[in-house]
Amino acid sequence: MIGDRWSLLILRDCFLRVRRFEEFQSRLGVTRHVLADRLKKLVRFGVLRRSPYQESPTRYEYILTQKGLDLYPVVMAIVHWGDTHMVDERGRPMLHEHKSCGKVFDPVLVCSECGEPIVAKEVHVHAGPGAAEGMAKELAARAK
């Protein structure tokens, strides 16, 4: 769903309160053709909804659904990784303020059970109830 050049950038802009076709297009520089297609796809996946904001002519804007809002950790994790590893000497392009505590913050991924930050080496993966036998087979089936 996000495996293409633009979907994640579109979603990032959604979280920055961008809602309209022209604004996505001019901010990102994506071609109109591809943008129209990606917005359609994101609506089809239930991540955005297309909502009319005026009549005659009816025009629509794109708004995150709850399913879309739940992608916030994904976008924030990418942004924070970029802030850590990809900024130039000028520093971060944006700062995030947590309204509820009033401070500029970094996002931290923690364990739901013990509250400690999660690092890859401290995690062990095992099969769950929906385990697939083989991933390649699975992907092939899904593509149909």
Partner DNA sequence: TTTTATAGTTCCATTTTAGAACTGTATGGC
Partner DNA sequence: GCCATACAGTTCTAAAATGGAACTATAAAA
Of residues 56-85, those binding a second copy (CB under 8 A): 64, 67, 69-74, 76-78, 80-81, 84-85
Q: Which residue has the tokens 């990606």?
A: 38
Phi/psi-derived region of residue 61, left when phi > 0, alpha when psi is between -120 and 50, beta in every other case: beta
Out of DNA, a second copy, none, what residue 144 binds, judged by CB under 5 to 8 A for its kind, is none
Binding mask 54-73 for DNA (x = CB under 7 A): --xx-xxx------------
Does 18 contact DNA by CB under 7 A?
no
**Closer CB to DNA, residue 19 or residue 80?**
19
**51 or 73, CB closer to a second copy?**
73
List all residues 6 or more positions away from 45 whose beta carbon is below 8 Å from its beta carbon. 1, 67
Distances (CA, A) of 141 to 1, 11, 39, 124: 16, 27, 25, 27
Residue from 6, 35, 48, 62 binding a second copy (CB under 8 A): 6
How far apart are alpha carbons 20 and 12 in whole angstroms? Answer: 14
Q: Which residues in 81-140 contact a second copy (CB under 8 A)?
A: 81, 84-85, 87-88, 90-101, 103-116, 118-132, 134-136, 139-140
Which among 74, 11, 12, 77 is positioned nearest to 43, based on CA atoms? 11
Q: Which residues contact DNA (rule: CB under 7 A)?
A: 4-6, 20-23, 29-34, 36-37, 39, 50, 53, 56-57, 59-61
